[in-house]
Structure 1
Amino acid sequence: MTEAVRTDPFTVRLEVRSYELDPQLHVNGAVYQQYADHSRFACVQAAGVSVEELIGDGLGPVNLETVIRYHRELRGGDEVDVSCAWVWGNGKTYRVEHVLRLPDGTPAAEVRHVSGLLDLRNRRLVDDPAARWRERAERPELLGLR
């Protein structure tokens, strides 16, 4: 059984760049997912997990479902804090949740993933992905694990 731990979510601050804007001058919808991906990768690195070793050992994190909920538009030059919180269950999947907020705390969007850890050799999700992440992390609490 996975033992989850509640911590403040890992957060990175990003600045909206001009090339991320669509013709209405707000952030293109696909970029919200890229911001979430950036936050998750930074969180994994901060937890001390080597993505190169993970992939070299035949394991790859995959997103199986992504849902984006928009609250307000982001525009060029805005700064946005992107959190990353891991939510563990007992199966082969887990959730990673991101909240994008302006520096004043106003929510701009939420990005939620259902994810898994894929065995790249047999193309199947591994059992107990939390255990695999925990054994590789120097700071498992950043991944919501004890």
Structure 2
Amino acid sequence: MPEPRIRPLALCVFHHAGKILVNVFEDAVTRQTLYRPLGGGIEFGETGSAAIAREIDEELGQPINDIRLLGTLESLFVHDGKPGHEIVLVFDATFADTALYAQPWLDGHESDGARFRAKWCDSSSFSADTPLVPKGLAELLKGLSLLD
């Protein structure tokens, strides 16, 4: 079993009309539904903003503009029965193709080929039972007036 490590992560909060774009997934052990903005790991020698541009291009095939850092979170969690530890750089950006904001969802794929559907959700979608992750993200976004 590999030694546990801290994972550097970049997430992007695309927002429009009081909603943010999130990937909806389920914890296989707890069966809890979770919501998380799009993004992924930061590779060695890569900046966080370059990582988010690369991840969005890989996952959605879409270029982005106006990338800016909103904040940093530290996330200690258990997912699918395994402990995790991430340092999360939270970014804001805009899609070059503004027509994407009018679509109810965007289809994408993970690096392993798994398909997903990212949805535009408002704050009423998130609760203690169906949280926005990582922990602290909802509070960060509310403080910046990006979520109600």
User: Is the strand fraction higher in 1 or 2?
Assistant: 2
TM-score for both structures, normalised by structure 2:
0.30
Report which of the two structures shows the higher radius of gyration computed on alpha carbons. Answer: 1
TM-score for both structures, normalised by structure 1:
0.30
User: Is the helix fraction higher in 1 or 2?
Assistant: 1
